[in-house]
Structure 1
Amino acid sequence: MDFLREGMLEAVRIILSMDEELLNVAAVTVKSSFLAMCMASAVGLPVGIALGALRFPGRRALRLLFDSLLSVPTVVVGLVVYGFISNQGPFGRFELLFTLWGMAIGQAVLGLPVLVSLVASAVESVDPLVVMTLRTLGFRGLRLLWALVLEMRHALMMALLAAYGRVVSEVGVSMMIGGNIRWHTRTLTTAIAFEASRGDFGMAVALGLVLLIISSLVSACVSLMRWRAKG
């Protein structure tokens, strides 16, 4: 118990002192996860909407593929992306390995299946009567699509939140592609693993608390947006 109490006290001291390394790790985490979510959303939202709204050959196979990718271990995703962006890989000339952008790309690949699957499910759950009513009112094409997006905006926000949770909490991709380089690509999750392995329990707890705060703030913002939308 003394070990745990001392670790918690040390964690509080580190956070209150605004430790420079702690702030750097938090900043890297926020930047990489933000970039990852931007990339995943740019692909995942339209693909998910298309899979949920359209009927075309191979649609079920694609749904099954994205659903099966939900359970792929993060280290496997990291290994695949590593192969593509390493010096010997097809995208090696861009020198993305052990960089913030490379790490963000790996995280985007990790969060993409979550986003696509949940968005497709959200689209499929829309009441057909809503679609029929909108068409009766003259909604067609992109106007109809935008109206449906507004109708299911809460489900889309939950899909984005779930994908963000997958991205911000992973270790394997950040470790393999980012390299856990101090001051450059060390994220909160990789830093927690590193500090705990070398016995600095106080720093590990401080990092964990910061990660919890960031995740809670994102969840709170999404919930606040939902409450305001409901009036």
Structure 2
Amino acid sequence: MELILSGIGQALHLLFQGDPEVWAVTWLTLKVSGIATIISVLMGVPMGILLALSRFPGKSLLVSLVNTGMGLPPVVVGLFVTILLWRSGPLGIFGLLYTPAAMILAQAVIASPIITALTFAAIEQLDPNLRYQLLSLGATRLQTVWRLVLEARLSILAAVIAGFGGVISEVGASMMVGGNVKGQTRVLTTATVMEVSKGNFDVAIALSIILLTLAYGVTLILTLVQQGRQRG
């Protein structure tokens, strides 16, 4: 208990003292996970909608693969992204390994199946007659899709929250593709692991508290947007 209280005190000290390294790590954490989530939304939401509205042979198999992707181990994602970005790998010429861009790529791979699967479930659970009613009233395909998205918007926002939560808390992929380089790719999760390995548990607890506060703050904003739209 004393160690936890010490960690809380250390967290407050680091934040209110304005430690530049802590603020830099916190900002990089938010930037990497935020951009990765945006990319995942841009990919996952359309894919989920397309999957829900399409009928083709093998759809059940594809849905099962997407659902399996929700549980992708971050270290496995990190391994394959590392292979892709390695100097001798297919994308090695871009020199992205051990950069924030590599971390964004890995986190986007982790979040995309989550958002795709939950978006698919959100559209799939709508009344199937709604689509045909809209078409019968003269709505175009694009207008029909937009209306369906509006109907499922609360669940889709929940998918975004789940995607963000899945990437801001992961450490394996970020460590593998980012390398935890001070001032370049060190984020709150990898910094916490490093401090634990050094035996600095009070600092590790402080970083964990900052990470939890950051995750809660972003999730709170998304939740308020979700609830505001629900009331609207």
TM-score, with normalisation over the residues of structure 2? Answer: 0.94
Partner of residue 225, structure 1: 225
- Percent identity over the alignment is 38
Asked if 2 retains the 8 angstrom alpha-carbon contact of 1:7 and 1:205, the reply is yes
67-76 or 141-150: bigger deviation: 67-76
Task: Name the CA shift for 1:226/1:40 in 2 (closer, same or farther; >3 Å).
Answer: closer
Alpha-carbon separation, structure 2, partners of 1:168 and 1:13: 23
Q: Tell me the SS of whatever aligns to 1:182.
A: coil
Distance change (3 Å), C-alpha of 1:218 and 1:6: closer
CA deviations 1:139-195 (Å, max 9, x no partner) are 121111111111111111000110111111100110000000011101111111111
SS at 1:96 equivalent: coil
Letter in 1 for 2:183: W
**Contact 2:8–2:209 at 8 Å: present in 1 too?**
no
> Are the equivalent residues in 2 in contact too, given 1:15–1:206 (CA < 8 A)?
no
RMSD of aligned Cα (Å):
1.4
Residue 123 of structure 1: how far off its partner (Å): 1.0
Name the residue aligned to 1:73.
Answer: 73
Q: Which runs of 5+ in 1 are unaligned?
A: none
Q: Match of 1:63, as an amino acid?
A: V
Deviates more, 1:21-30 or 1:32-41: 32-41
Distance in 1 (CA, whole Å) between partners of 2:8 and 2:200 is: 11
Q: Report what 1:23 is aligned to.
A: 23
Q: 1:154 to 1:218 in 2, by over 3 A?
A: same
Q: Contact conserved, 2:4 with 2:205, CA < 8 A, in 1?
A: no
Aligned runs of 1:95-114 on 2, under 5 Å?
95-114=95-114
- How many residue pairs match? The answer is 231
Tell me the TM-score normalized by structure 1: 0.95
CA distance in 1, matches of 2:156, 2:4: 40
Whether the 8 Å CA contact 2:98–2:185 is kept in 1: the answer is: yes
Q: Secondary structure at the match of 1:104?
A: helix
The corresponding residue for 2:160 is 160
Unaligned 5+ runs, structure 2: none
